[in-house]
Amino acid sequence: MGQVNLNEKQKQAVEFNKGDLLIIAGAGTGKTSVITERIIHIINSGWAKPSEILALTFTEKAAQEMQTRIDERMEYGYDEPYISTFHSFCDHILRNEGYNIGLDGSYSLLSTAQAYIFLRKHLYDMPFKTLLPKGNPTKFLNDFLKHVSRLQDEDVSPEEYEKYAKSLPKSTDDLKEEYTRVNELAQGYKKYSELKIAESKVDFGDLILLTIKLFREKPNILAKYRNKYKYILVDEFQDTNYTQNVLVNILKGDGKTPFLTVVGDDDQAIYKFRGAAISNILQFKERYPKAFEIVLTENYRSKQEILDSAHTLIRHNDPNRLEVTERIDKSLVARGVFEDDRNSVQLMVSQYESIEAERVAEEIMKLTGYGELVKLREDRDSQTFDEKGQSTFLDSQTPGKDAKYKFSDIAILVRANSNADIFVQEFRNRGIRYKLGGSRGLYFREEIKNLIAFLRVLTDFTDEVSMYKLLTMGIWNFSPREYMELIQLARMEKLTLLELLEAEWKIKIGEESFSEGDFKEIDSKIMDKILSPQAIAGVSTLLMLLDTSMKKIKEGRSLVEILYDFVMNSRYVGEFLDKETPESIFAISNINKFFELVKNYEKDNPDSNIYEYVDYLNYSIQIGESPLVDSVDMDELNAVNIMTVHSAKGLEFPVVFLVNLVSERFPTKARGDALPIPDELIKETGIENLDEKEANIQEERRLFYVGATRAKEKLYLTASNFYGDAKRKKKPSIFLHEILDRSVDEDFKEKVQVNDFTDDIIHLTSIEGLDQSIIPSKDIMNIVKRFSYSQLNVYESCPRKYEYAYVLRIPTKGNASTAFGTTIHNTLKDFYTLLQRSKESLGGIVQAPTKDDLLALYGKNWVRSGYESKKQEEIRKKEGRKIMGQYFDKVFSLEESPLRLEESFSVHFADVVFSGKIDRIDLIKSGEGIQEVCIVDYKTGSEKSASDIKKDLQLPLYALVAEEKFGLKVVGAKYVFVETGNCVDVNVSQDRREEAKEKLIESLESVKKGNFKATPGFVCRFCDFNSICEYADL
C-alpha cells in the first residue's frame, strides 16, 4: 500500500504536534486513514517510538484494520504500536498488574450470558428478597446484570453504591420502600463482586472499572503507563461511556504528555443504549481548552445530494451539536466522482408491509440486471420451491446486460433484527442471494440452527420444535408431510414424537445397546402409511446417533466429541462438501467456528455439562449474543446485505435501502431500565434542558443519519401504511419529513399501486439461473491469508489434510494429545509468569515459585476434553502431575530469566501473514541496547530423532521472527521434551533461517496454486479426516 493522498485538513491532522487534538471527522471523510497516517507520521518523524503509542478502538475489527494498514506502510520487522479495544487494553493491564490490587491475573472473562449463568448458580447466595420472587426466582437476573453494567459505566464502585444506599432517608413509608429497594441492589452489587473475585471471574464492565481502581490506588503503576505512552489516540470518541472517558483522562493526567488525540463525530453517537455518553465529545474542549480542533468535511463516499439530505436531517438536533457549540461548519462536501448526481434519494411508500418487501426486491432485480426476469402472477404456476422454501424455476432465462450493481453492493438496513424477517422471506421466494449481518449472526445460520436443535433434543426429548428441526434437516430423507402425519399420530397416542419413534422402533435411547441390524420389524402403520423406505432408513440412523450421543453424555465425554461424531456419522458435513458451492464452503466455515466456540466454552467451564451449555446457548440467543459469522468469507459472498443500522456503522454500500420508516419503528419508543440507577449516581452530565423523550428522538435521528450516510450512490427510503396485522394506519417517520425537507403526508395517502394487486406479485428465476461468475469460486473464497508453522507442518505431511483443515476448515473433535499439550503449555506459561514477577519485584516481595505452585497451576489448567474415556483422563492426569514434578526437579532453574512468554507474532511472507506463538524467550545477556536470547519450545509428545530435529524448520523460523520483528539477538534455541525432561539444542544459524524461509515461501506458493494432492500412507489411520477422504489408506 503506497503513500495515501491527503487533503489539506487531513494533512494538518496527521502532522499536528503542538499538544492535544480533537478531530471532528464527518461520515466518509477518511477517519481511519487519518488515524493510521498520524500514527505512521509520529513514528517516522521520531516523535515517539512505536511502543510509546497507544491507540484505542471500539471493535477488534477496527483495531485489526488499523494495524493492517500500518503494517502495509511500515518497513518489515518494525516494532508495533499498541492498538486494541478499550477492553483488551484493560485486560492486558489487569493480567499483568492486577495482583497489585489482589486480582488473580489468570481470571476468566465472563460474557453477558456467562455472567447470567454464574449469577444463577449463586442465586441463593445473593442477598435478594424482592428481587427473588418465589414463583419465578430468575425473573430479575437479567435486569440486575444490566443495572450492574450501568453502574460500571458510571464509575460507581460497590463501596460507593453501598455508602449512598445507607445514606438514604427512611422517615416515611415511601422513603422506606425506596431505601429497602436501593439497599437490596447495593448489597447485591457488593455480593456479586465478591463472588466473582472469589472464583477469579471478571466481567467486561469490571475490566475498565478495575483498571481505574488500579491506577487510583497504585500511583506507581499509573506513572509507569503514563511514562510508557507519549501519544494516546482514541477512535470513535463519541461512543465512549463515562468510565472509558475517565480512563482516558487518568492516563492523560494534567501534564503536557502524553499527547491526546481523539477522533469522532457527535452526529454519529448511536450507542446510548450501551452507556455511551455523547457529552464526552461535546464537552471535550471544556476539559482540554487548549486542545486544537480540526474539522474534516471532505467526503469521499457519497453523492452530494445524499450528503445534503443527511445534513438537513441532522440539523434538527441543533443546538446540541458541535456545529453549534463550537461554531464550526460540518456540511460535508462530496469529493467522489459520479456519473450522475440526480435522483440519489428516493422515497417508496406502499400500502402494506408485504408490498414494501416486494417492491424492494423488484428494485434490486432491476439494479442487478435481472429486471427482464420479472414475471407476472400468471407465470407463478411454473414456480417450484425446494425443501427450504428457496425458489426454483423451470423456465430460467439469461440475465440482461444492463446490470449496474452486484448483489453485494446493496444493503437493507433495518432498525431492529425482527424487521428483517419479511425481507428474508421475500428474497428466499425470489431466489435473491442474501446474507444476514449484525447480532443475528452465527446462531441464526441454518447450518448452525440444525446443530443447536440436535443439542436441544439431547437435553430435552420433549422439545418438539427442535425435534422437527432435526428431522427435517434433509439428510434423513424426511419430508415435512411425513413429520405432520407422525406428529398427529403421536398426539393420538398421547406421546412425544421421540417417544412414538422409540415405541415403533422398539428401543429406548441411551439405555439399550442396538445397531441398525438389531432393529426389529417396524410397525406397519408407519412402514406402510406414513414413512417412505428412505425416511425409515434416515430415522434409523438418527435414532442410533441420538442413542450413541446419550451414552457419551453419561460417560462424561466432551461436547465437542459428541458434536463431531454427529456431523461426521450423519454425513452432515459430507453433504456440504459434495455441493462444492460458495454457500456450502461458507457453511462449513461457520460449523468450524461453532466448534471453536464450544471448545472455548468447555475450556473456560471444565466442570460444565451439555445441559448447562444448552442453557447458556439458549440465553445467549435470547439476549442476542450471537457471534458474528466469518467476516472474510461473508464479505466475499455476492449477496444482498441485510443488517441493522447499528451493525452498518463504519460500512458503506453503493446502494442502501432504509426500510420500515414509520413512527414507532424508526424512531422507536424510548425504553427505560427496569432497575434504573439513582440519578444521584449518574455522573454523565448529559445535555441540559433535554427530557428523556427528546433525548431518545435525537439519538434515533443520529442513527438515521448514520444509516443514510452509508449510501454512496443511491439511498432508498421505504415505508408502508400498515404493518403486520395492524388495522391502524401508521404515521410516517418524522425523519422522512426532515431528510426530504418537505411533508410526506401526501405520499402516504392510500392510493392504487400496481404492486398492491396480488395478481401482480413479481417473481424471479432460481438462483441457478443467475450468473455464477459473479460468485467467488471455492479457491478465491478460501485464499490463504494467514499461515502458521502448524499449518506448514500439516501441509508438508499431506496437502489434502491441509485442505480439509485450513481451506475447507472442517472441524475436528480434538484428541488427548492436543488436550494434554494445551494443559502443559498453559501451566508452564503461568508458572514462568510467577518467576518473572518474583524477579521484577523489589526486595523479594514476590517469592519465587515453588513445586507446589507448579502442581497447583497444573490442576487449574487441566483440559478435560479429547479423552476417550473418564478412565483415560484420570490416568493421564496422574501421569501429568508426575511429569510436572520431574520438570521442576530436572529442568527448572531459578537462574532462568524468561523475557517473553507465549509471545504471539504476525509477519508478512510472500503476501501472506505468517503467524504463531513462541512458547518462551529467555534472556541470556543484555547490554549496550542488545538483548541476547534463547528460544524455548515445549514438546509434549515423544522425542524427535536427531535427523528430524536437523530437518525441523520451526525454531529457525522463530529465530528469524525474534530478530526481525522483536529486535532480539538469538544466540540459541532448544526443544524441551517435557515428558522426559530432556533439552535438545537446535541449529538456528543464519543459513538455517534462510533455508527455512525459502521452504516456507515455497509451500505458500504451492498452497496458493491449489496443490492439495493427497499423500496416503500409514498415517492415514490416525488422520481426523480419513472418514471423508477418498484417498485414505486404511
Positions at the binding site for ATP: 25-32
Cα dihedral 189, 190, 195, 196 sign: positive
The secondary structure of the chain in percent helix, strand, coil, rounded to multiples of 5, reads: 50, 15, 35
**Beta 930-939 vs 969-977: how paired, if at all?**
parallel
Q: What are the angstrom distances between the C-alpha of 83 and each of 175, 796, 862, 916, 926?
A: 49, 34, 32, 19, 28
Taking alpha carbons only, the member of 220, 221, 192 closest to residue 206 is 192
Q: Please state the separation of Cα 298 from the chain's center in Å.
A: 32
Instruction: Indicate the residue type of 868.
Output: E
Q: Which residue has the cell 406414513?
A: 530
Give the whole-angstrom CA distance, residue 697 versus residue 313: 12
Q: Are 428 and 390 in contact (CB under 8 A)?
A: yes
3-class SS of residue 616: helix
Beta strands 711-722 and 653-658, pairing class: parallel
Grid-cell match 471527522, residue found: 25
CA distance 802 to 792: 9
DSSP string over 781-839:
HT---EE-HHHHHHHHH-HHHHIIIIIS-------HHHHHHHHHHHHHHHHHHHHHHHH
Residue with cell 487548549: 290
State residue 920 phi and psi, 5-degree precision: -155, 140
What residue ranges in 111-220 does DSSP mark as E strands? 201-203
Exposure pattern of 620-634 as b/e (b: 16+ CB <10 Å)?
Answer: bbebebbbebbeebb
| Complete edge-to-edge strand list for the sheet that includes strand 231-234 | 82-85, 53-57, 231-234, 259-264, 21-25, 292-296
Rounded Cα distance, 530 and 44, in Å = 75
Are 721 and 355 a contacting pair, CB within 8 Å? no
Q: Spell out the alpha helix ranges (H) of 687-774.
A: 692-708, 734-740
CA 784 to chain centre: 21
| Preceding omega of 667 cis (within 30 degrees of 0) | yes
Give the C-alpha separation, 87 to 153, whole Å: 12
DSSP letter for each residue of 105-130: TTPEEE-HHHHHHHHHHTGGGS--ST
Q: Name the binding residues.
A: 25-32
The torsion defined by the Cα of 306, 310, 312 and 313, in degrees rounded to 10, comes to: 140
Would you state the torsion angle of the CA atoms of residues 988, 994, 996, 999, taken in this order, to the nearest 10 degrees?
Answer: -170
Task: Give the whole-angstrom CA distance, residue 163 versus residue 148.
Answer: 16
d(CA 870, CA 876): 10
**How far, in Å, CA of 652 to CA of 633, rounded?**
18
Name every residue whose Cβ is closer than 8 Å to that of residue 695 and which is 6 or more positions away in sequence. Answer: 272, 670, 686, 687
